[in-house]
Amino acid sequence: MTELMKICQMVKVKGASDLHLFPDQPIFYRLNGAIEKLEGIILNEDQIKKIIIETSTPKAREILGRQRQVTYAEDVPTVGRLRFSVFLDKSKFAIAIRFISEKFFELEDLGFGEGVRKVISQPSGLIMVGSPSGEGKTSTIAAMLNFINRHFEKSIFTIENPVEYVFKDDKSAFIQRSIPVDISNFYNGLCEAYRVDPDVVVSDSINYSDAMDQALTLCESGCMVIASTEGGDCQQVLDRLISCREHADREALRARIASQLKLIVSQRLVPRDDQSGRVAIFDILVNTPQMKALVRNNNMSMFRALQGQGDTVGMKTFDSQLAALARKRVITQKTAAEYAIDKSRISGKA
C-alpha cells in the first residue's frame, strides 16, 4: 500500500477531492472541480491490482469478480478514509478514489438557520438532499446526522454506497449498511429498515420508483427519512421525481409527497473570483402549508416565487445567493449568470 499512500499524500496536500488510476496511463486528480495531471508516476495493471487486493475485503473482491465492478470504503494509514470505485476500462482494472473529509460540518457552518434545524428535529417526514456528483450532498447529510446524534436519542439506520462517514454513537445509536457488501440495493435496504425499529432512515439514493415509494411508506409509519438525489434546484428535484412516473400514478405520488415532505436542500459548488477554491450555494425548500398546496395541486408556476419569500422559515434560492455573492465580488457576474436558474433575472444584479 506504500505506493497508494505516496500518491494520495501528494494530491491530498494540494486539496484534491478525487484521484483516477488507470494502468499504464498518467494519473489524474480533481482539484476544485477541474481535472489535473500528476506528473512523474505511472502505475501498471499489476500495481493497480495490488492496491485493490490490499484495500478490499474478500466480500468486495467476490462482488468484483461477479459484477466486474464494486464500490467500497477503507481507512488508509496516514491518508484517511477513502471511497474506492473499481471497474474495468478496456478490459483492465482501474480505480476512481474519493477523499472523504475527516471532519463533520456543523449545520451553522453550512449556513443553515434555525428554521432548517427545527425541520431536522421533527420526528418524521421526508428530507431530500440533492447535488451533482462531488458537490457535497454526502457532507451535508453527515452534518444533519451529526446534529441529530448530538441532540436526540434516536435509532439511525443508513443504507449507503458505500459507508463514507463512520459515526460514533453519542445520544443516538447507528446501524450503517453498505451496498453491495452488506445489502444488495436501496429498495431492499429500505424494506429491511422496518425490522430494526429505526427513528431515522438514510438512503444514498431515492431515484428509483420502488425506493421512493418505500421511503414514503417509512415516513407514513413515523420515521424520518433523509435521502439523496440528483442535482437541480428544489423545483427541478420534485419535477424529476414526479415526471418519471406513469401519468396515472402522478396525482397519488404528488399527494404523498405533499403530505410527507419536510425539506429539500439542493446545492452547488461555485468557483470563487480569486481562484482560491469554490463556495457552496444552497437552494432550500421548507414544506409550508402553502407549498403543500402547490405540490398537491401541481401549481408549480408559483413555486419559486413562494420559495423566494420564505426567508423567515429558512428557505433560500440559488439565484438570490448568486446575486449576493456577485455583489460582494466573491464570484464574478459571469459565474453568477452561468450557474443561475433564471439567467435573465441574474443579469445586471452585480
- Tens-digit pLDDT profile for residues 119-131: 999 999 999 999 9
Domain that holds residue 295: 114-316
Name the burial class of residue 186, with classes exposed (0-12), middle (13-18) and buried (19+) by CB atoms within 10 angstroms of its CB. Answer: buried
Q: What is the pLDDT of residue 347?
A: 64
| Alpha-carbon distances of 29 from 4, 6, 34, 315, rounded to whole Å | 13, 14, 8, 35
Average pLDDT over residues 101-130: 93
Q: Same domain for 11 and 156?
A: no
Do 150 and 246 lie in one domain? The reply is yes
Query: Domain ends where: 99, 129, 152?
Result: 99
**For residue 207, what pLDDT is reported?**
86
Query: Which residue in 64, 63, 95 sits closest to 82, CA to CA?
Result: 95
pLDDT, average across residues 51-67: 95
Average pLDDT over residues 53-74: 95
Query: 132 in a domain, yes or no?
Result: yes
What are 1-25's pLDDT values in tens digits?
Answer: 788 999 999 999 999 999 999 999 9
If you ran DSSP here, which 8-state letter would residue 152 be given?
-
DSSP H/E element including 200: strand 200-203
- Does residue 36 lie within any of the structural domains? yes
148, 249: one domain: yes
- In this structure, the answer to whether residues 196 and 82 fall within a common structural domain is no
- Give the end of a domain, one of 39, 65, 99: 99
204 and 248 part of one domain: yes
Chain length of the chain: 350
pLDDT of res. 331: 96
Angle at CA of residue 311, ends 310 and 316, nearest 5°? 85
Give mean pLDDT, residues 186-204. 92
Is residue 322, in this structure, part of any structural domain at all? no
| pLDDT interval class at 65 (50, 70, 90) | very high
Lowest mean pLDDT among 89-93, 100-104, 137-141: 100-104
- Rounded-to-integer distance, Cα 137 and Cα 131, Å: 6
Q: Tell me, what's the pLDDT at 350?
A: 43
Banded model confidence at residue 231, pLDDT cuts 50, 70, 90: confident
255 shares its domain with 134:
yes
Q: Give the closest residue to 228 by CA, choosing from 267, 180, 270.
A: 267
329 within a domain of the structure (yes/no):
no
Q: What is the CATH number of the domain that holds 209?
A: 3.40.50.300
Is there a domain that residue 106 lies in?
A: no
Give percent above pLDDT 90 in the chain. 81
Domain co-membership, 137 together with 219: yes
> In the beta sheet, which residues pair with residue 27?
38
Residue 158: predicted pLDDT: 97
Q: Domain of 24: which CATH number? A: 3.30.450.90
Is 198 in the same domain as 311? yes
Burial 241-275 (b: 16+ CB within 10 A, else e): bbeebeeeeeeebbebbbbbbbbbbbbbbbbbbee
Same domain for 232 and 289: yes
Mean pLDDT, to the nearest integer, of 43-59? 96
Give the mean pLDDT of the chain: 93
Going 216 to 124 to 288 to 264, the CA torsion angle's sign is negative
H or E segment and range at residue 308: helix 303-308
Per-residue pLDDT tens digits for 295-347 = 999 998 889 889 988 888 999 999 999 999 999 999 999 999 999 998 877 76
The mean pLDDT value for 263-271 works out to: 96
- At 140-176, the pLDDT tens digits run 999 999 999 999 999 999 999 999 999 999 999 999 9
Q: What is the pLDDT of residue 195?
A: 85
Q: Residues 270, 202: one domain? A: yes
> For residues 312 and 31, which has the higher predicted lDDT (pLDDT)?
31
Whether the CA torsion 295, 296, 301, 307 is positive or negative: it is negative
- Confidence check: pLDDT of 348 > 60: no
Vertex 5 angle, CA 78 and 35, to 5°: 115
Confidence of residue 293 (pLDDT cuts 50, 70, 90): very high
Residues 200 and 301 in one domain: yes
- Is 332 inside a domain boundary? no
**C-alpha cell of 33?**
472541480
The CA-atom distances, in angstroms, between 264 and each of 11, 34, 214, 225, 313 are 34, 27, 18, 12, 13
Burial of 116 (0-12, 13-18, 19+ CB in 10 A): buried
Residue 346 located in a structural domain: no
The residue written with cell numbers 423545483 in the block is 235
Q: At what angle do helices 247-260 and 289-296 cross, to 10 degrees?
A: 170
Asked whether residue 54 carries a pLDDT value surpassing 60, the answer given is yes
Residue 189 has a pLDDT of 92
- Answer whether residue 330 is part of any domain: no
CA dihedral over 213, 218, 223, 226, signed as positive or negative: negative
Residue-level pLDDT at 11: 95
Which of 73, 99, 125 corresponds to the end of one domain? 99
Number of folded domains that form the chain = 2
Q: What is the pLDDT of residues 73-98, one digit of tens each?
A: 999 999 999 999 999 999 999 999 99
CA gap 219, 259 in Å, rounded: 10
- Three-class secondary structure of residue 34 per DSSP: strand
Specify the pLDDT at position 312: 86
Query: Residue 349 pLDDT > 60, yes or no?
Result: no
pTM (predicted TM-score): 0.92
% pLDDT > 70, the chain: 99
How do 92-99 and 18-21 pair as beta strands? antiparallel
Whether residues 90 and 127 share a domain: the answer is no
